[in-house]
Amino acid sequence: MQIIFLMTKLSVNINKIATLRNSRGGNVPDLLKVAMDCERFGAQGITVHPRPDERHIRYNDARELKKLVKTELNIEGNPRDQKFIDLVQEVKPTQVTLVPDGTGQLTSDHGWNTIEHKDFLIEIISEFKRNGIRTSIFVDADEKMVEGAKATGADRIELYTESYAHDFKTDKQKAIAPFIVAAKCANELQLGLNAGHDLSLENLKFFKQNIPCLLEVSIGHALISDALYFGLENTIQLYLRQLVDEA
């Protein structure tokens, strides 16, 4: 099969900015200004992942961001929470990414079992799509889970890349292998392909070079951490350069 490479969008996850803001109870740093600056500096999307305890992104942040974001707004979360469903239906972001987080979970650590939860996902995805919201499902790099995602009616999948990032330093070829297989499966099924979790300046370029038709990466923790050293504008440009196709 011929491998086709497309422009990959960078969506900046600003949860960590909200965590810093919330630690002092005021509005420093200004989350909305940071989001607008990320776009101004070249980011092609903004991602937020509100959780039920609102320990970082607050539900009202999503409402305010909808008014300001000019690129694409991606809201991540677990649709088993009715409050999350209501928020997405109200805000109508460009994309909703369905993540099977547990209540109080520190960070995402696994993808959906799209076979076991097929009926639930079909129901919730059809509802979001009726409202014109692009849907993506967070999945592990497993062909069966990719095939299951297709059966739910999702528009895209987001490959959960923690294992890739973890294994990259010791054996990058072994680390990327299951993701190549999963990506090819998604392409054959005509599922859009996103990726995220622990992607960084160290491992992003190799991932991009090996994954066909990668539409979007969502990056937060590493990017915001790098910005402490390099500055936000410069950091976004550094990440964008990792996503440029080489002739």
Catalytic residues: 49, 76, 197
Angstrom distance (rounded) from CA 131 to CA 89:
7
| Residue type (1 letter), 82 | Q
Closest C-alpha among 112, 123, 126 to residue 78: 112
Angstrom distance (rounded) from CA 246 to CA 226:
24
Non-local (6+) Cβ contacts of 244 within 8 A are none
Angstrom distance (rounded) from CA 46 to CA 11:
5
Q: In which element (H, E) is residue 75 found?
A: strand 73-77
- In sequence order, what DSSP letters do the residues of 120-144 get, joined into one string? HHHHHHHHHHHTT-EEEEEE-S-HH
Q: Apex CA 100: angle with CA 110 and CA 207, to 5°?
A: 40
Give the chain's end-to-end CA distance (angstroms, integer): 20
At 96, give phi and psi (nearest 5°).
-115, 130
Angstrom distance (rounded) from CA 35 to CA 18:
11
| Residue type (1 letter), 94 | T
